Chain A
Amino acid sequence: MWRLVKEGLRIYRPVLLSAWTTGTFGPLSVFVVLAHFGVKIDGWQALSWAAAALPAYLLGASAVAGWITIGTELGEHRVRLHALLPLSSGDLALAQLVLPSAMVLFGLPLAHAAAVLARAIHGAPAPWLGHTTLNLMAAHLLLLLQLTLAAKEVTVLRDTVSWKPWIARPATGGRGGGSESRPQRESEPAGGVTLAGVPDAGRERDEGNAGTVLAMLGWFVVFVLVCAEIVLGVPYSTLIFPPGLRIGVHNGNLAVCTAATSALAVVTAAFTVTLFRRRTLIDR
């Protein structure tokens, strides 16, 4: 898995570097123009304000690079190539998650360094440039990347999921593709389902319906995760906006919020890996 991530980082390194460059010099150039005209923001010189916001720009640019990576990998059907390599399905799934996340994580120390630099320039830290705040922002961005991947996995679930062994696993103790799986019994209805512990429940469903149900379930889980993200995150994620525009309730503990957001990201990632490992990778 790590080799796949390493190769991915090598291949997408130009994307990350160009995102950092654009994400940094783009806003800075705007503020240079504003500073030229003596514009002040919240009592700060425009350029000082921009320098103080630089860590946020770097983190945001890293996340954008992550999204570009996700989109490119999807658009170019990368999983088709990776699935032919001698790697387990778990490794493939994890590599998909880790690659864009690594980009944010690479941006984090850079953001911290920029915060230290900004602090040195200004003499005193701005309240929204603290290292714990940056950690929280990175956790949010990681979670959003994971939510993106989870949503993607849910979307492809409907048509390609190999749902039957997933649902029936407790009853059969096996799955397709392995030597332990069982052949279908004659008595089972064609295209039907035998839901574990729910006798005959599957007889009225065909595979498409079961896929729809699973997809809805998946969307519900993603929805719950988004809600949790909003409840936990909005007071802090808005910190990437200019000071004074903060909305939501400040619960006062950045470290706890960072830990909770990170935990949500891990739960989301686990959800995505579970779906990926169950699904068929090609359409019929």
Chain B
Amino acid sequence: MSGAPAFALTGVEKRFPGFTLGPLDLDLEPGTVLGFVGPNGSGKSTTLGCIAGLVVPEAGSIEVFGRPADPREGTWKADLGVVAETHGFYLNRSVEENLRFLSRFLPGWSQERARQLAGRFALPLDKQVRHLSKGNVAKLALVAALGHAPRLLLLDEPTAGLDPVVRSEVLDVLWEVLEDGEHAMFYSTHVLSDISRLADELVFLRDGRILLRSGKDALTDGWRRISFRLGERDVAVAAAVEYRRVRAEHQVVSDDGEATLAQLRELGAEAVEQSRMTIDEIAVTILKGGRHVAVG
């Protein structure tokens, strides 16, 4: 179905003992990359599992390209390429045999494309999966997810445990995949450096709830660390997410730097200094539970 979002979660809720995910409302447009950021145990993998049909939610509905993601009817999964934390490959079979296995089930699978990707990753096709290094298994998972050119990629920490060189290779390949602008990607991670390069939008998740959804550029443009001097009393600063004061020295983290600076000008603040924040710093502030964080 053209024009439909790559996926749409509506009121999705999943409960485990001691943890509840959601209710989540989340969607992703084709051609965009959504970075799904949260600490360990925040529900990232469960959310991805819900979209991939690995987790049956207690409530809510899930659609993938306009079709209900109903586990009772599996054809909608043909549009998905998934890299999960655990892969389930045939360990006693070679890389090539595992890829051939997938080719028999996934429409649009191109063994040629899979071979090219494997070559790009220097993945030994004739080696048993049991004897692959952790990095090579991650590469195999990525090749397996990309072999049928899926329209939606669901990646659950695909670079976890990889050395910097392999991590860079993986990100390069993902970057190339995205070049045609037709793929949607849901990239779940707690390593922000990975997605700061790829993501168009970021969603921050904590304790099963979405704290914030924002465009990456809007975040980096809007968020500022601002210091100023203005009397020895607390000030209600516009758009402040964090606020600290030592005597007359004030420090603010603002999610709308322009609004904060305008207010400070009106208040006659002195020695105003501002600096941009990195995605990492913004994420840490949000996930630590900064005040006034608006849910987007």
Could you tell me if A86 and B60 are in contact, using CB atoms closer than 8 angstroms? no
Chain A CB within 8 A of B280 CB: no
Tell me which residues across on chain B come within 8 A of A277, comparing CB atoms.
71-72
Tell me which of A77, A89, A179, A206 contacts B87 (CB under 8 A).
Answer: A77
Tell me which residues across on chain A come within 8 A of B50, comparing CB atoms.
177
Could you tell me if A165 and B23 are in contact, using CB atoms closer than 8 angstroms? no
* A181 CA to B69 CA, complexed, in Å: 12
Chain A CB within 8 A of B193 CB: no
Could you tell me if B60 and A176 are in contact, using CB atoms closer than 8 angstroms? yes
The chain A residue sitting closest to B154, CB to CB, is: A84
Contact with A along B66-86 (1 / 0, CB 8 A): 001111111111101010101
Chain A CB within 8 A of B187 CB: no
**Chain B: interface residue total (CB-CB under 8 A):** 57
Among B100-108, B217-225, B238-246, the one that faces the other chain is B100-108
Could you tell me if A79 and B88 are in contact, using CB atoms closer than 8 angstroms? yes
Tell me which residues across on chain A come within 8 A of B62, comparing CB atoms.
177
Q: A84-B82, A91-B74, A183-B11 are in contact. Are A284 and B16 (CB under 8 A)?
A: yes
* A246 CA to B58 CA, complexed, in Å: 51
* A172 CA to B70 CA, complexed, in Å: 17
Q: A178-B61, A178-B68 are in contact. Are A76 and B90 (CB under 8 A)?
A: yes
Tell me which of A76, A176, A183 contacts B91 (CB under 8 A).
Answer: A76
Shortest beta-carbon distance from B107 to chain A in Å: 7
Could you tell me if B54 and A280 are in contact, using CB atoms closer than 8 angstroms? yes
Residue of A83, A85, A159, A177 most packed against chain B (CB within 10 A): A177
Tell me which residues across on chain A come within 8 A of B74, comparing CB atoms.
85-89, 91-92
Residue of A11, A77, A84, A277 most packed against chain B (CB within 10 A): A84
The chain B residue sitting closest to A175, CB to CB, is: B56
Chain A CB within 8 A of B275 CB: no
Tell me which residues across on chain A come within 8 A of B267, comparing CB atoms.
none
Chain B CB within 8 A of A184 CB: yes
- 4 nearest CB pairs, A to B: A81-B88, A80-B88, A176-B57, A208-B17
Which residues does B use to contact A, with CB under 8 Å?
Answer: 11-20, 23, 41, 43, 45-46, 49-50, 52-63, 68-78, 80, 82, 84, 86-91, 93, 97, 101-102, 104-107
